[in-house]
């Protein structure tokens, strides 16, 4: 399995695997994609980078690499981890497809989707 690093592009399923294995826990990061948070899908490229900053007027400023690649904010680390951790705790063999459903559900409803083994 690939090592977790910041400022890298991952396939969504590869990032899910790293989070399931807790390889990301020493990092503070945000997740960005080109289609927005509601449209996560397996096979999609996801950029993992620094968290947004804020200017003097409290406007969100995305990292330069994110802006240059035309990515959009998708998830903050804590929420992404929480969705995956809860689903894995409910079903240790949860599929990546089910995890993507959980992530999209959380993005739509700000609530967790239960996974039944």
Model pLDDT, residue 117 = 76
Model pLDDT, residue 35 = 84
- 22 located within any domain: yes
- 39 is in which domain, residue-wise? 8-109
Our count of domains for the chain comes to 1
- 117 located within any domain: no
- 63 located within any domain: yes
- 114 located within any domain: no
CB 31 within 8 A of CB 40: no
Return d(Cα 31, Cα 54) in angstroms, integer. 17
Model pLDDT, residue 39 = 84
Return d(Cα 60, Cα 43) in angstroms, integer. 28
- 15 located within any domain: yes
- 116 located within any domain: no
Model pLDDT, residue 16 = 98
Per-residue pLDDT of the chain (117 residues; tens, 9 = 90+): 789 999 999 999 999 999 999 999 999 999 999 987 778 999 999 999 999 999 999 999 999 999 999 999 999 999 999 999 999 999 999 999 999 999 999 999 999 999 987
CB 96 within 8 A of CB 104: no
- 64 located within any domain: yes
**Taking Cα atoms as reference points, which of 113, 57, 47, 116 lies closest to residue 83?**
113
- 62 located within any domain: yes
Model pLDDT, residue 68 = 94
Model pLDDT, residue 33 = 94
Q: What is the pTM of this model?
A: 0.93
Model pLDDT, residue 114 = 96
């Amino acid at each position: 399995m690939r090592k977790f690093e910041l400022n890298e592009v991952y396939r969504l399923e590869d990032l899910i695997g790293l989070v399931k294995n807790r390889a990301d826990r020493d990092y503070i990061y945000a997740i960005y994609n080109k289609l927005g948070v509601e449209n996560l899908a397996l096979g999609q490229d996801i950029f993992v980078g620094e968290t947004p900053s804020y200017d003097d007027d409290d406007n969100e400023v995305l990292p330069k690499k994110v802006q240059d690649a035309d990515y959009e904010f998708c998830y903050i680390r804590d929420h992404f981890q929480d969705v995956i951790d809860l689903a894995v705790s409910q079903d240790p063999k949860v599929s990546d497809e089910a995890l993507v459903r959980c992530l999209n559900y959380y993005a739509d409803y700000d609530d967790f989707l239960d996974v039944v083994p």
